Chains A and B, each alone.
Chain A
């Protein structure tokens, strides 16, 4: 076990220097040889050795450093003499503490770890709101942000960036590469307080004319792609169609605003944009501000509101209802993970309580075995306080050992989880085993040591000395008081397990329902690839359209491929842009809000089996120059044309459409596709024709006859034949797209299920332990009853009465707690209420069955014993 070796190494650091200098390496060598040998004898031997070796190491250190309290050495000796007992306690605690460490590491990354920006607590995210459209925390229009920057007066400066990366092509030696490029205002770096490692960052003036001139590279790109060439600053690279001068390289680790940022380009606006309506109407930048020295967030917000109010009056056409607000940068970064993390933190807290109750029960059983010894110690003059201290020290030593093992487990677990799934940890947040995580685990360990140690520690003080000693030499059978304590603990365990299992059950049911949702398109056998047709060689619209036409022909000519089509954004991956619209003939005050837009062609709908409900799909008669035609989804038709036939109607994306607006004719209605996630309903959406609303970057969806992922090499080679300098930016199967859209739910569900399962197991073991001990203590009574002719079923009934009583109490309490507590889940559940009777009933049944079995087994075993033998033995 590598973990034991690591822990022993840590223990050795506590030894005097001369000892480790002389014996340290040899010590670990010898241990390794023994561990290897024990591992060959099986996991039990290995675990046994681990516990003994750890205890032995601690004991040796304690001896070397004389003056360690006697209680401590006494506690270590116990671990050595009772390795089985110690190992079970440590394992249960390590499980509880490990789960807490894992979740807390994630919480730490998001909530507490310092953000990698200078004076980060002075940074605020600004956003726009629109109560009419239901926008909260929305993107902002550049013209508004520029006005805030100049007029609010409470900000040191305001920067802007776009949330999505551009993919830019760079060709070296005939090999194309794609870089993720962030578009930022010139003061982006200075607002964040980020300095360049080489060269410089942008200037504010470069916001305006810099896009065609300068670029800043990430440290990672510079190191891996450009060979960390220090002469890169000042060189000119052809990126896309532009010749850009590298002005700087950022410090390692700086990738804001996106994990995959490889370079930064200025937004590149023109000064005259500021006077154009679209610059205030289109909301597409994220503003981030640094508060001016001495200004609080409240003051800044008040002054921002004053400017916002003025803009509403000055620009009624665009700003009539536009509001704005601000939040600390950290709140913005954690806005999506906050709720799931807090739920998980609550769950592991419950799990730890359960683990403590479990260990308390174990040590209670042990205290019963030892009550004789303790009574003798007291009789010989050890005061009750001293005895309690002895017991408490033992609990603490075990808790700290459990804490150290749990820390190792939890840290390994969370790092593995972070690698397997995207926890949403961005460039600004990072996992680290820092003092806070270690401290948290140790505090939790000590707290649980006190918690579970107090129960048995208080017991011997309470039990009458005379009573215990006169109970005879049968190893002490604890009285009714002790049994009540054990029963209460078991009831607590059952209640906690029920609470956790209900949470897991609700998530499971919600997830199952989410999976049942038809996303509105075919997921099987579809591959999607995204790429950009470079503007350097495809300057005109007709070049681009011809390329896509030729690509579709080439793909469909292959017999491996059934159908191919083009779409601007894949379903279930979010929304791109939205707008208002008016239909021809509507009164001026009637406006449709918040319609989503995507561009597509006929192939997209056919490849994905998206039904045509009415009208027709796009076809070659729809020329690039018009008349312009669009398709709408069913939700659009239902929401905006109730009781009317939308096909044939004409719409324009304007609040006050006129003859000079661009008018689109609705030629058909297609089935809804979920745009964001299966658990969110489809929204009204309009599909433009990719020949008419054309872009260079698109997804191509390809329906294959075989497993879609296996056709990627074919697609790659066909694309290469058409143009060897177009790299594929992303490739995913639609099955993966679907699965990824539920990844966060699945992650939370998986963890909650594991916690629920562990809780169930711990509770069952706890119930079994208490029932088994009760049975052991009553062997004599049972022997007599059986000898006198009692039937096995009578004995079982007698034995079950008490243990089932405590299980019932636990279930009742747990159910009441679940009815109240599961409400915290309401916002993360889909299609199921927090007090869903089916889930509650199923969970209670499952837990009752497990606990019932745990009660039944020892009772049944007691009846199988030979009465003559049991009587003779006692």
Chain B
């Protein structure tokens, strides 16, 4: 079990490395500005995730336009595995929710 914020950070870093503000912006885009964590909550989580070996500092910079001074984070192997496990767990739960008519049936293209 990981917290929703941990999961959201894992999701954000799954596609690209990001710095602290980048993570916040992405979360805002995904779930709306009001659900973004405060800076305090973010760094509390980043600190814990680094301790637990889910993320680490990245030395590569995604693009030249990005701020070189900022510290970027990337997923570790373990972080990626945790994200996968949590996604599978949530997907299973969503399937249950769908069966119980809590969610509309999936409409695939």
Contact = CB atoms under 8 A, between A and B. Distances in A.
Do these two chains interact? yes
A597 interface: no
Interface string B53-89: 0000000000000000011000000000000000000
Given A19-B47, A34-B24, A63-B44, A52 B70 contact: no
Contacts of A59: 38, 40-41
A52 B43 contact: no
State the majority secondary structure of interface residues on B.
helix
Contacts of B37: 56
B42 A80 contact: no
A444 interface: no
B38 A56 contact: yes
A56 B47 contact: no
A603 to B, nearest CB: 69
B20 A30 contact: yes
A676 to B, nearest CB: 58
B46 interface: yes
B39 interface: yes
Contacts of B40: 27, 53, 55-61
Nearest to B44: A60
Interface in A5-23: 8, 19, 22-23
State the majority secondary structure of interface residues on A.
helix
A34 B47 CA distance: 20
A8 B70 CA distance: 19
A283 interface: no
Contact of A80 (B38, B39, B70, B71): B38
Contact of A29 (B41, B44, B47, B70): B70
Contacts of B44: 60, 63-64
Nearest to B36: A34
A80 B24 CA distance: 17
A31 B44 CA distance: 14
Contact of A57 (B24, B38, B70): B38
Contacts of A52: 38
Given A55-B38, A56-B37, A27 B70 contact: no
Given A26-B20, A29-B70, A30-B24, A57 B47 contact: no
Contacts, number: 59
Interface string A44-82: 000000001101111111011000000000000000100
B71 A26 contact: yes
Nearest to A33: B21
User: Interface size for chain B: under 10, 10 to 19, 20 to 34, or 35 or more residues?
Assistant: 10 to 19
Among A34, A55, A58, find the residue whose CB has the most chain B CB atoms closer than 10 A.
Answer: A34
Among A30, A55, A80, find the residue whose CB has the most chain B CB atoms closer than 10 A.
Answer: A30
Nearest to B69: A29
A379 to B, nearest CB: 30
Interface in A253-298: none
Interface residues of A, number: 23
Given A26-B70, A29-B70, A34 B41 contact: no
Interface string A77-93: 00010000000000000
A840 to B, nearest CB: 49
B38 A27 contact: no
Contact of A31 (B39, B46, B71): B39
A58 B41 CA distance: 10
A744 B5 CA distance: 57
A796 B85 CA distance: 63
A664 B47 CA distance: 91
Given A19-B47, A23-B47, A30 B38 contact: no
Contacts of A58: 40
Contacts of B43: 19, 23, 26-27, 30, 60
Nearest to A58: B40
Contacts of A55: 38, 40
Nearest to B37: A56
A52 B20 CA distance: 17
Contacts of B38: 52-53, 55-57, 59-60, 80
Nearest to A80: B38
B93 to A, nearest CB: 26
A56 B41 contact: yes
Contacts of A26: 19-20, 43, 70-71
Contacts of B42: 30
A78 to B, nearest CB: 14
B46 A29 contact: no
Among B38, B44, B46, find the residue whose CB has the most chain A CB atoms closer than 10 A.
Answer: B38
Contacts of B41: 56, 59-60
Nearest to A63: B44
A34 B46 contact: no
Contacts of A29: 20-21, 70
Contacts of B20: 26-27, 29-30
Contacts of A31: 39
Interface string A745-757: 0000000000000
Nearest to B50: A22
A14 B34 CA distance: 27
Among B24, B40, B44, B71, find the residue whose CB has the most chain A CB atoms closer than 10 A.
Answer: B40
Contacts of B21: 29-30, 33-34
A8 B43 CA distance: 13
Interface in A799-847: none
A34 B42 CA distance: 13
Nearest to A59: B40
A27 B70 CA distance: 11
Nearest to A41: B33
B64 to A, nearest CB: 19
Among B20, B21, B43, B70, find the residue whose CB has the most chain A CB atoms closer than 10 A.
Answer: B43
A58 B46 CA distance: 16
Contacts of B71: 26
B50 to A, nearest CB: 9
A591 to B, nearest CB: 79
Nearest to B42: A30
Nearest to B20: A30
A423 to B, nearest CB: 39
Among B44, B70, B71, find the residue whose CB has the most chain A CB atoms closer than 10 A.
Answer: B44
Among B37, B39, B43, find the residue whose CB has the most chain A CB atoms closer than 10 A.
Answer: B39
Nearest to B45: A60
A21 to B, nearest CB: 12
B47 A27 contact: no
Contacts of B24: 30, 34
Nearest to A31: B39
Nearest to A38: B33
A512 B43 CA distance: 57
A146 to B, nearest CB: 69
A847 to B, nearest CB: 39
A291 to B, nearest CB: 57
A27 B42 CA distance: 9
Nearest to B38: A56
Given A34-B21, A80-B38, 6 more contacts: A19-B47, A26-B20, A27-B39, A56-B38, A59-B40, A63-B44
18 contacts: A19-B47, A26-B20, A26-B70, A29-B20, A29-B70, A30-B42, A31-B39, A33-B21, A34-B21, A53-B38, A53-B39, A55-B38, A56-B39, A57-B38, A59-B41, A60-B38, A60-B40, A64-B44
Interface of A: 8, 19, 22-23, 26-27, 29-31, 33-34, 52-53, 55-61, 63-64, 80
Q: Which 9 A-B pairs have the closest CB atoms?
A: A56-B38, A60-B40, A56-B40, A57-B40, A30-B20, A60-B44, A33-B21, A30-B21, A31-B39
